[in-house]
Amino acid sequence: LHSFLRSMGRRADGRTYEQLRAALTRLERTTLESTEGAYWSAQSGPADISFTVLSTVSVQRRRVADREQLHLFGNLAAGEPGDARVTLSATLRANLGARHVITLSAARYHALSSPVARRLYRILEVARADGRLSWRIPLERLAEQLPLTQRYPSHLSRVLQPAHEMLLSAGLVRDIAIRQYERQWHVDYVLGSRPREET
């Protein structure tokens, strides 16, 4: 647990150990469901599927004898570390093995303060990974994917506007337009090349 917390840039203490244990337990109990072939499975292609993120989580707390010696190690002085064994679900492992993955910048992701902007960033990176320079999606379909509860185009545009402004100012897209084509509203994104990371 100590190494896991440090790899995420988190301080290792009693509070963060407990938060990490709770997060791993939540992920084990979290089920993802995909309908209308929205999930791309390396095993079956587009699929209606239901799976957990983690198939098993086992966290063993250190034995009392070990804990009595923690004061000898300054970086473990606070809290009670332990060892975790976590198994990703078979569905996720298959997609990782087949390299059906995208890369997100953690710094850019966390710099987006809006949950809608973060979800849009994830979706747009899938389009970018396909080599697209632009991406068009029906506004109603985008609302389902995000998901948003609003249904009228004017309401959806108002909800999306702050997220769009964040994506533009972060350089993640070059242009965004909401237009009507043949009585259906669409959102056009101009992606351009992948933004270079700051060093």
Tens of pLDDT, residues 51-80:
898 999 988 876 544 555 555 554 444 445
Is residue 16 located within the same domain as residue 57?
yes
Q: Which pLDDT band, with edges at 50, 70 and 90, does 197 fall under?
A: low
When divided into structural domains, the chain yields a total of 2
Domain assignment of residue 142, yes or no: yes
pLDDT tens per residue, range 36-54 = 667 777 777 777 888 898 9
Upstream peptide bond of 115 is cis (omega within 30 degrees of 0)? no
Q: Is the pLDDT of residue 120 over 90?
A: yes
Is residue 89 located within the same domain as residue 116?
no
pLDDT tens per residue, range 126-175 = 888 888 899 999 999 999 888 899 989 999 999 999 999 999 999 999 99
Confidence (pTM): 0.69
The contacts of residue 93 (CB under 8 Å, 6+ apart) are: none
Is residue 19 located within the same domain as residue 84?
yes
Share of the chain above pLDDT 90, in %: 42
134-138 β-sheet, strand order = 134-138, 184-190, 175-181
Q: Are 94 and 42 in contact (CB under 8 A)?
A: yes
Mean pLDDT estimate for the chain: 84
Segments forming the whole domain that contains residue 136: 106-190
